[in-house]
Chain A
Amino acid sequence: MARTNATNFSGGLQFPYATAGTDLFKKEDVQTLALAVDGHDHSTGKGLPLVAGSIPSGTITSAMIANGTIVAADIATGTITSNEIADGTIATADLANASVTNAKLASDTARANQLTNGGFEVWQRGNGPYTATGVYTADRWLLTLVGSDTLSVSRNTANVDTSLGSNYCAACTFTLGSGGGATSLSQPLKTGDANQLASRQVSASVRVSTGTASAVRIGVHDGTSWTYSSFHTGTGTYQTLTATATIGGASTAQVGVFFAGSCTAYLDNAMLVVGSQPADYAPLPPADDLARCLRYYEIVGGAGGSDIMIRGWAGGAGQNIDQSFRFRVTKPITPTMTKVGGWTNANTSGLAMPSFTADAVRVEITSTTTGDTWTLNSPGGSWLTAEANP
């Protein structure tokens, strides 16, 4: 005779069972077994615990999981995707410090513009039109003609990029000749001008509007070659053209707008930022915008005139009367000084600028006889300019 007790049931539910055919049969054993079956819920002492294989795949629902019990260790690495995250719920505290890279920035993240007068807002030389090669148009924007192409650039208010609050844009009327798409309006950023873009990846963006497809695109020069954007599609509305390149070591960066087909195009709101992601145009305060331009071009004297006078008493002919003007902004190199217009002179043949540096200019008048000697920037349209193009 042999009997043993069930090992997966305990207490009042632990039923005995026979291990041999000669074992004594007791009705109490059946009663205990019935109780065990009735109380069988896989908890301790009430049968074998459940194992993973006992549960069919895909049958555990969130209702079977107690709230707040899933921990990070229960989630496989790299399995949570943006679909599992509700929009607008990631907070700053969820991001590790110093972990957001340039590549993650959207274009509307404002960044420092490396261009001067990227908005085409400042036209110190006048409103144009400018048509000659090698001349500056809007401040710092250089017109370069290739072959028999023609390009006329002028300031424009009627076609500005109003979506970004622009006041002025550059209106460009282009006729394709033999230039092959190389005629441009560009802005160089030379290392000799203390720019620090060498060996950096930079991204340019320019707002362009034209009704002619495949006529206008932009480019970034890395010191060796150009990297171009796609062409404007000719919708007649503003599109943002972008290009990204890594500037070579000790090289001059350059941003250019290129014309490959006869068209009228409007250029506005250009940006050049460090990094792989182009940025939308971020305007500078007007004072800062002008201050950048003054580094390269500066006007001494107002358009109305009569605000610059050099005057003194000469004891005889041939006496020099000098005066110095300090530039508002130091130039990158010694500028070309121009006396613009016909000044009004008394007892002198006119003003000369015998010496100047990147910081200041000395102007001089020479008397023709004894007496009151002066020159005045009158009538209007008479002033001095300092132009320094590194």
Chain B
Amino acid sequence: MSVKITDFDTWAYVHEDAYGGSHGGTLDPATVTYSHNMDGSPNHNFLTVPCPFESCGSVSTWPVGGGADAVLGQQMFVNKTETEGCVCGQIAAGRTDGVPESHVRLNCNRMDGPGRWQLDDAPAVQVQATGRAAPEQQAQPVQFQAVYQETDGLIVGLEPAGGVGNDLKVAVFHDQAEYDNLMRYDPAYVSADKRHIVGTPQ
């Protein structure tokens, strides 16, 4: 089993299948860090969690989709984004509205498809899915909300669960093709007429 944080108030963790026997305790949240791209820039899709247990030496790298534990894994990314902002620069630190979660949700969908989001009970996005999408959503009508920057149309989040502030807007789309564009383009932008999702700012 992976090194897993089970309580984000106390930063309790468990490492149940550690070599030599299970252990757990609390860890320093500062040790949970983003991994890096080939060019050295941080990658907001992966967080590393080193096991602090003496002489264990194990390090788990969690994907934004949640990997070994969808709920706790996704929650870890949301907490990290709320506290520190996202290393991609799109989300500022200390933001507690619906934007950090929508940002993580967008990254989750891009990684593992629309059926993966499990942080709340609602489906990630009601789309006719492709790839590894959840079959339960394949028959659903296409409808999703994208959070974008008004200045350049950059989409920073998906399906916000709360407010998005004055600096961001929400666009509603009803087209499978637009959802596919959102998954295809990273970064993705809302077109000038607010009706399409494109790969370059307009």
- Seen from chain A, the residues whose Cβ lies within 8 Å of a Cβ on chain B are 125-126, 130-132, 134-136, 190-192, 194, 196, 198, 250-251, 320, 322, 332-343, 352-356, 358, 381-382, 385, 387-390
Contacts and interface: CB of A to CB of B under 8 A. Distances in A.
A149 B129 CA distance: 40
A136 B111 contact: no
Interface of B: 1-4, 6, 14, 16-20, 22, 24, 35-38, 43, 45-46, 48, 55-63, 65-70, 72-73, 111-113, 115-116, 132, 134-136, 139
Given A130-B16, A334-B112, A385-B2, A353 B69 contact: no
A378 B57 CA distance: 12
B67 to A, nearest CB: 3
B134 A388 contact: no
B6 A134 contact: yes
Contacts of A198: 135-136
B35 to A, nearest CB: 4
A317 to B, nearest CB: 13
Interface-central residue, B14, B16, B22, by most chain A CB under 10 Å: B16
A354 B68 contact: no
A335 B134 contact: no
B138 to A, nearest CB: 9
Contacts of B37: 354-355
Contacts of B60: 336-339
B73 A336 contact: yes
B136 A336 contact: no
B20 to A, nearest CB: 7
A366 to B, nearest CB: 9
Interface-central residue, B17, B35, B56, B132, by most chain A CB under 10 Å: B17
Interface-central residue, B37, B61, B113, B139, by most chain A CB under 10 Å: B61
Interface of B (DSSP majority class): loop
B44 to A, nearest CB: 12
Contact of B58 (A333, A335, A339, A356): A339
A389 B69 contact: yes
A353 B135 contact: no
B48 A352 contact: yes
Contact of B35 (A132, A251, A352, A381): A352
A322 B37 CA distance: 12
B61 A191 contact: no
B63 A335 contact: yes
Nearest to B114: A192
Contacts of A355: 35, 37, 43, 45-46
A251 B59 CA distance: 35
Contact of A194 (B3, B6, B135): B135
A333 B56 CA distance: 27
A125 B24 CA distance: 16
- Pairs of residues from A and B, 3 with the lowest C-beta to C-beta distance, nearest first: A336-B67, A342-B57, A250-B136
B46 A192 contact: no
Given A354-B35, A381-B19, A387-B68, A136 B57 contact: no
A125 B61 CA distance: 17
18 contacts: A132-B6, A191-B135, A194-B135, A322-B38, A334-B63, A335-B68, A336-B61, A339-B57, A339-B58, A339-B59, A339-B60, A340-B19, A343-B57, A354-B38, A356-B63, A382-B57, A387-B68, A390-B70
A6 B17 CA distance: 107
Nearest to A381: B19
A335 B35 CA distance: 15
